[in-house]
Amino acid sequence: MSLVTLTLNPAIDQTVTLDALTPGSVHRARSVWADAGGKGVNVASCLADWGLPVAATGVLGQDNAAPFTQLLAAKGIDDRFVWIPGETRTNLKLLDAGSGETTDINLPGLEFGPSTVEAVRAVLGDLTGAGSLAVLAGSLPRSLAADTYARLTAELKRRGARVVLDASGPALAATLAAGPDALPDAIKPNRHELEEWAGHPLPESADVLDAARSLQRRGIALVCVSLGAEGALFVSSEGAFRALPPPTRVASTVGAGDALVAGLVAGLHDGLALPDLARRALAFAAGKLSRTGANLPGRTEVEALAREIRVERLD
């Protein structure tokens, strides 16, 4: 079974660690480092750490592609990115060492036209087929229509691939509004993204569960809602479960949601029952929290974390 991730708006994530983030104040940084990132890149990185062969594609600016090529080569990821003139954006992440929280400042990405999209589609065509798992992740460049993921999902499903979508805002809304042939097989919104789709707040756990169930009834086989420190909700035809994370030392929250998606994909790859898939997804996220960047600890440690995760049936 082939695995591929798509990142149409990648970024070099520059993380600045501060003693405490106080808006309007002058800060002295403890440290600064940069990682080649973007949601699909991060998912591929975690899957490679777990030991699964994975390909990564998308669009990179040729003027600063080196951090990406170095990361993908170091992790043994099949690098199938399309290069275009210009620079991939740099995003700034301000890490508050006291609270462990990260403030993101995301810059505009590269803009490109139909010919570049066609090149990416051709790569996806080479990499996917019946039984493949394709992860479409992250924001879309401003030059692309909001229904880009919906159209790509429909094409991938026609080839027999299963599609996991991790997007937000208009890109998520357009895909969820598409016909049944363009609906992804799995999605991973957080509570805020689910509220945006629903059009109203979801203050109670029961509200989040109702919204997730409504999406599952629309035809999305697996709905995973990430809830931060409260764990995650998983809804499929097997029922509804909530997974609660173990106590974890937080080095950085950057990429935790992407690690959750990677764990979900790894569970789908192995055909795990929903409670076990929930444990694996949360274990990936918890393991990543102890590392900077989108990196997992060794498999033995991740498996130990999975055994600590409590899963509650909700229905």
Catalytic residue list = 258
The secondary structure of 196-244 as a DSSP string is: HHHTS---SHHHHHHHHHHHHHHT-SEEEEE-GGG-EEEEETTEEEEEE
Q: Which residues of 81-108 are buried (b: 16+ CB within 10 A; e: fewer)?
A: bbbbebebbebebbbbbeeeebeeeeee
Sign of CA dihedral 204, 205, 208, 213: negative
Q: Collect all residues with Cβ–Cβ distance below 8 Å to 87 and sequence separation of at least 6.
A: 61, 63, 64, 110
The secondary structure of 82-134 as a DSSP string is: EEESS---EEEEEEETTT--EEEEPPP-----HHHHHHHHHHHHHH--TT-EE
Q: Tell me how far apart the alpha carbons of residues 281 and 122 are, in angstroms, rounded to a whole number.
A: 30
Please, are residues 224 and 233 in contact by the beta-carbon 8 Å criterion?
yes
> Could you tell me how far CA 98 lies from the centroid of its own chain?
26
Please, are residues 160 and 130 in contact by the beta-carbon 8 Å criterion?
yes
Q: Collect all residues with Cβ–Cβ distance below 8 Å to 291 and sequence separation of at least 6.
A: 251, 252, 297
Q: Collect all residues with Cβ–Cβ distance below 8 Å to 42 and sequence separation of at least 6.
A: 255, 258, 259, 262, 294
Please, are residues 29 and 19 in contact by the beta-carbon 8 Å criterion?
no
